[in-house]
Amino acid sequence: MATSRLFTNLDQIFILLRNWLVDFLPAALRPAAGIVLGVITIVCLFPGLFALTTVFERKGLGRIQNRLGPNRVGPFGFFQPVADGIKSLTKEDIVPFSANAVVHFLAPLSLVVAVFMEFAVLPMGRNMVLVDLNAGLLFFFSMSASTELSVFMAGWSSRNKYSLLGAMRAVAQMISYEVVLLLSSVSVVMIAGSLSLPKIVDAQNSYTGIFPHWYIFTPWGLAGFVMYAIAATAETNRSPFDLPEGESELVAGYHTEYSGFKFALFFLGEYLAMFAISGLGTTLFLGGWSAPFSFLTFIPSWIWFFSKVMLSIFVFIWMRGTLPRLRQDQLMNFAWKFVLPFTLLNLFVTALWRFMGDGWMRWVVCTVILAAAYVLMGRLSMRNEHFGPRRYRYAE
């Protein structure tokens, strides 16, 4: 009895801590103070996680590429982000002479603010959500959509052709893949029957035997998750979809003309977007903060959430170290000719799943439809596309 009480307290430790701190204040200020504390936690926690991730990414990439990675600052190079942070803070902030100074300044700021807003609706543990909005998923997507404009602002205001090209690529890519991101989430909404993210987690938080009811363990959920993961990689401009910052052609893409702290803000925004989109994917398909087996439920819920997020981050890094970059036309063709039709089909399959009732029939039907579509669209129609080595039309 005492141990279960201990585990419940450990599970809710941040909530208890918040309540304890808030109780020092007069009753009228308590709700506002609770929200302020939550905001402070988010604003401190995720940049910290970002610093940690940059080390892991550089070490991991080094491991994949058979080299050491950073190993000078601190034990095993773990204080590298501190050095990087001091460097970017003390660097001179250069604004190009012909740049549009106001827009140039506002772009990184609005990007980071919009990305931070996305965390407000993510449930990071049992009861651990800043605001449980009725339309939480819509809020998340509206915030992630408004980052596109910041990218454009950055690229346009720099008055540099590489920046502008990078920004146009980034915006075109983000718009194309955002449609997929939204549509693959809609299938979850159809089954869970709610746009509120805590309710979506609750809908997955039950077990058959020891196995959980996560949406990824259904045919439509698996297909939706794969589509979501592809779209999320493209949405955060990560390799193999990192054309907007393709170093070999565009210097650094839309943040070519940024230096010092503003560049650090872009870097931060990119990683925060990665955390947010992994967090949403975890919430929608991987059961959010629920445990993977029923006998592991005693481990605090927030540990599960953050382990799942870090696992997806690891997959991002793995893909970056493994896959070569796509070409722009391949990227667009892939989005509009394969991913989007497949996601639309997945919506239909989800509706079938919803209305066929319980039983093994729906498993067979849904799996067969999705597998057939994958073979037809992905294998047969892509066979005609030549994904071979690049042919140089003018250089030869």
Q: Does the protein bind another protein through residue 333 (CB under 8 A)?
A: no
Cα 83 to Cα 94, 257, 258, distances in angstroms: 20, 22, 19
Tell me the window of 2-10, 39-47, 139-147, 220-228 that interacts with another protein (CB under 8 A). Answer: 139-147
Among 143, 154, 183, 265, binds another protein (CB under 8 A): 143
| Shortest Å, Cβ 98 to another protein | 13
| Shortest Å, Cβ 292 to another protein | 29
Among 10, 133, 203, 347, binds another protein (CB under 8 A): 133
Length of the chain: 396
Among 13, 178, 259, 303, binds another protein (CB under 8 A): 178
> Per-residue contact track with another protein, 261 to 290, x per CB under 8 A?
------------------------------
- How far, in Å, CA of 152 to CA of 169, rounded? 10
Among 11, 148, 257, 270, binds another protein (CB under 8 A): 148
Closer residue to another protein in complex, CB, 31/193:
193
Cα 162 to Cα 147, 158, 361, distances in angstroms: 20, 9, 54
- How far, in Å, CA of 379 to CA of 387, rounded? 13
Give burial (CB, 10 Å; 0-12/13-18/19+) of 97.
Answer: exposed
- How far, in Å, CA of 140 to CA of 145, rounded? 9
- Restricting to residues 192-211, name those near another protein by CB under 8 A: 193-196
| Shortest Å, Cβ 265 to another protein | 19
| Shortest Å, Cβ 165 to another protein | 11
> Per-residue contact track with another protein, 93 to 112, x per CB under 8 A?
----------x---------
Based on C-alpha coordinates, what's the Rg of the chain? 23
Q: Does the protein bind another protein through residue 153 (CB under 8 A)?
A: yes
Closer residue to another protein in complex, CB, 152/316:
152
Tell me the window of 137-145, 273-281, 362-370, 374-382 that interacts with another protein (CB under 8 A). Answer: 137-145
Closer residue to another protein in complex, CB, 197/286:
197
Closer residue to another protein in complex, CB, 64/171:
171
| Shortest Å, Cβ 389 to another protein | 28
Among 9, 65, 142, 307, binds another protein (CB under 8 A): 142
Tell me the site size for another protein, rule CB under 8 A: 25
Tell me the window of 146-154, 304-312, 320-328, 381-389 that interacts with another protein (CB under 8 A). Answer: 146-154
Among 94, 175, 364, 368, binds another protein (CB under 8 A): 175
Among 116, 152, 241, 266, binds another protein (CB under 8 A): 152
Q: Does the protein bind another protein through residue 335 (CB under 8 A)?
A: no
The residues that touch another protein, with contacts defined as CB under 8 A, are: 103, 133-135, 138-139, 141-143, 145-146, 148-149, 152-153, 156, 164, 168, 171, 175, 178, 193-196
